[in-house]
Amino acid sequence: MEMTGASTLATAPTTPEHDLEVAVIGAGPHGLSAATHLRRAGVSAHVFGAPMSFWKTMPEGMMLRSNMSATNMIEPVGPLSLASFTAATGTAIEQPVPLEDFIAYGSWVQQQSIPDLDERMVVGLEREAGAFGLELDDGERVRARRVVIACGIAPFERIPAGFDQLPSERVSHTAHHRDLGVFAGQRVAVLGGGQSAFENAVLMHERGAAQVEVLVRKASVVWLRGHGVKKRIGRLGPIVYAPTDVGPLWYSRLVEKPDILFRHLPRGTQNRIAARSIRPACSHFVKVRLDPIRISTGVGLVSAQENGNALTLTLSDGSTREVDHLMFGTGYQVDIARYPFLGERIIADIRRVDGYPVLSRGLETSVPGLHIAGAPAAWSFGPIMRFVSGSWYSGRAIAREVGASSSRQRLAAV
């Protein structure tokens, strides 16, 4: 386990020339949650970024794996909940929730809570005396006393080494395709054993009659049983399963509110709980559509060689496949140094473990005043941070810490 970075600079006194009190970079569920809860706490928060931008790149026809409760962003109950959206807009949403309905919900949340959203992109972030300097894509520079990074996982996509040098028309990641109909009539191999691999395979077949095979390294696939278990245990269901819908029996409650118990457990125990809570698995609503898809388990990909207009794949069992395209459903590997706007100096000052920032209360990094929400917060605050429902906790936690700090500063000034 590699640990890097440590801040050595003290926080300078705040000065009147700060343009912004808090700058939030990112307008997805975690960014909108942080800004909403900050404003509710009386803290001025300015949000940069296009609303729900990462979600708008996901495959057309996709459905969310989370249950209806866990699809709420900001809060499970309240004026920005999914129920409030359906009541206000007359939208009828059923489970599993279609991607397009979730994007519409997120856009509505943004319009209700952050109507003054600034859609300019942050292209540079550095520390300045007592503040942070942000460079925007139109050339303007602004300063902020604090910054919340909530930029999602798009830069962290993982394609195994040795295959990332193949031409993009032959090799890609499941995150690269909005319209899977482009693979109509092609032979496609998908490597992976989780939701994205199987759902992309199904959508390619349904939208263009592609010939698809899913290659799974493990000997078996974890099939989620939907809500059957919760129904069978009856009234105990809401007790042992949190509405956040992250983690299996009992673990769900452990990871729901990280500060209550999870963060106080030994690191080894945290790692085991996290691994169990986010293991690759496939939903029942995808499983029932997999009949036309060939699934090979217990095989790994050894090599992929260009062969004219195709690829020849060699598998670990000695067999080969001839395909037109190889798609990796191999997930994401967090490394905040891959956020393109972070400068080298600020990256060096952030204490990290295996690419994850080490965070304290309020999801604050070792750089005072810099907070990181979403999946990069998972090492410090558990698997809940990787999901939409984690925005319930992250937004409130950031607002509590920033609000308390602002109050201390005001008292000190008096």
Summarize pLDDT for 37-81 with one digit per residue, the tens.
999 999 999 999 999 999 999 999 999 999 999 999 999 999 999
Peptide bond into 96 cis (omega under 30): yes
pLDDT in tens, 142-191: 999 999 999 999 999 999 988 988 998 999 999 999 999 999 999 999 99
Bigger pLDDT: 410 vs 231? 231
Q: Would you state the structure tokens that stand for residue 191, as one six-digit string?
A: 């490597």
Residue 199 CA to residue 327 CA, distance in Å, equals 12
Run of H or E residues at 285: helix 284-287
Average pLDDT over residues 233-252: 82
Give the integer Cα–Cα distance in Å for 32 and 403: 17
pLDDT for 216 beyond 90: yes
Report d(CA 69, CA 138) in Å as an integer.
Answer: 39
pLDDT confidence band for 5 (50 / 70 / 90)? low
User: Is the pLDDT reported for residue 235 higher than 80?
Assistant: no
Positions of E strands within 168-253: 171-173, 187-191, 211-216
Write the CA distances from 219 to 79, 94, 197, 244, 344, integer angstroms. 46, 34, 16, 30, 42
- Average pLDDT across the chain, whole number: 91
Nearest-angstrom CA–CA distance, 197 and 173: 10
pLDDT for the residue 233? 65
Q: Is the pLDDT of residue 365 over 50?
A: yes
120-124 mean pLDDT: 98
What is the radius of gyration, based on Cα positions, of the chain?
22
Residue 7's pLDDT is 36
Q: What percent of the chain has pLDDT over 70?
A: 91
Backbone angles phi, psi at 61, to 5 degrees: 95, -5
Least confident of 146-160, 202-216, 249-263, 379-393: 249-263
> Could you give the CA distance from residue 241 to residue 265 in angstroms, rounded to a whole number?
20
Question: In the predicted model, is pLDDT for residue 17 greater than 90?
Answer: no
Instruction: Return the beta strands (E) in 64-201 as ranges.
Output: 122-128, 131-136, 141-149, 171-173, 187-191
Residue-wise pLDDT for 270-292, tens only, equals 999 999 999 999 999 999 999 99
Domains and their CATH numbers in the chain: 3-156+332-413 (3.50.50.60), 171-222+281-328 (3.50.50.60)
Query: Do residues 4 and 128 touch, judged by C-beta distance below 8 A?
Result: no
Residues in Cβ contact with 160 at an 8 Å cutoff, skipping those fewer than 6 apart: 301, 328, 330
The CA-atom distances, in angstroms, between 301 and each of 54, 105, 326 are: 28, 39, 11
- Using 50, 70 and 90 to split pLDDT, how confident is the model at 28? very high
Task: Please name the amino acid found at residue 185.
Answer: G
pLDDT digits (tens, 9 = 90+) for 330-350: 999 999 999 999 999 999 999
